[in-house]
Amino acid sequence: MIPIRDAIRSKTFPVVNVLIIVANCLAFLWQLSLGPQLREALLFYGIVPVRYSDPSLSIQFSLFEQVFPFFTSMFLHGGFLHILGNMWFLYIFGDNIEDRLGHIRYLIFYLLCGIAAGVIHLYTNWESNLPTIGASGAISGIMGAYLLLYPRSRILTLIPIFFFLQFVEIPAFIFLGYWLLIQILSASFTPKNVGGIAWWAHIGGFVVGLVFIKLFDLIPRMRMGQELRHYTDRRTSPRLQTISPQYLPDELDLYGEIFITPKEAYQGARKLIAIPQGIKKRNMIVTIPPGVHDGTRLRLKGLGRMDRDGNRGDLYLEVRVLD
């Protein structure tokens, strides 16, 4: 299952989340530039458990050199698919957690989740001589926090079924619960000290995220974060809106509402709407022309109900301008 987007629009621009994604991409470009020296760099900047478990090796590194990889490893990746998958999940789920915690607390939360996941990987692979890299542990913490805060959020998900691709909206608790189940099963059947995906780091990061989000919610917002939030407040309505159409018994036409801001009413906007059709939802782009006002009706031809003779009504969306 591939998440496309969630239904919750963050109220602020996720500046820290974007900077983390940019930092990961820059680090990956740096990796590509290393050529033959890449393996040596990964052994130094990645988490290599044997560096900590073998006294003859650990004595060769300073305390700083032993602690440093817990930070640097979460910005390195093993390939294009690795970084693409990680950054996409971070893009989908990170903005809402940043919106909830504030920019500064979110940065601290992200780093702590990544460090905790690294420690858990070290404990569960104590004698491994393979370097572990990737932001997966920190992102797993973000996903754990998302599950606790927004369990009923809807995740628009791409599900490949044989040769067909199906878009389905799935509740967050089902999507993330399924993801966690896959991690647990994979960790259970994967031998220790075998190269590949750090399953226990994913599980550990997820659990740490569940715990930390409650603790961080008790910490007051920092003054710097509040000032930064003033500049990152969004001035737009949600890009994805689920329409719950109503109808009269004797009519084929459907009626719903779409929400926009005064700025969007003046300038115009494009919104992705999801229209329920049985157990599925039809997604489409709606263009809102400039100059509309509260109460304006938009007609979407042919999206209403159909009678036995094949006649189909229209869908009318009434514009609601938010204060």
For residue 51, the 8-state DSSP code is H
pLDDT digits over 280-293, tens only?
A: 677 888 999 999 99
CB atoms within 10 A of CB 241: 19
Where is mean pLDDT largest: 53-62, 141-150, 165-174, 239-248?
Answer: 141-150
Secondary element (H or E) of residue 134: none
Tens-place pLDDT, residues 192-204: 655 567 888 899 9
Average pLDDT, the chain: 87
Instruction: Return the SS3 of 48.
Output: coil
Distance CA 146, CA 206 (A): 10
What are the chain's domains? 2-232 (1.20.1540.10), 240-321 (2.60.260.20)
Q: Please give the structure tokens belonging to residue 313.
A: 């009504």
Q: Please tell me the pTM assigned to this model.
A: 0.75
What distance in Å separates the CA atoms of residue 235 and residue 264, rounded to the nearest whole number?
A: 9
| Closest-CA residue to 209 (of 115, 288, 291, 293) | 115
Sign of CA pseudo-dihedral 232, 235, 236, 237: positive
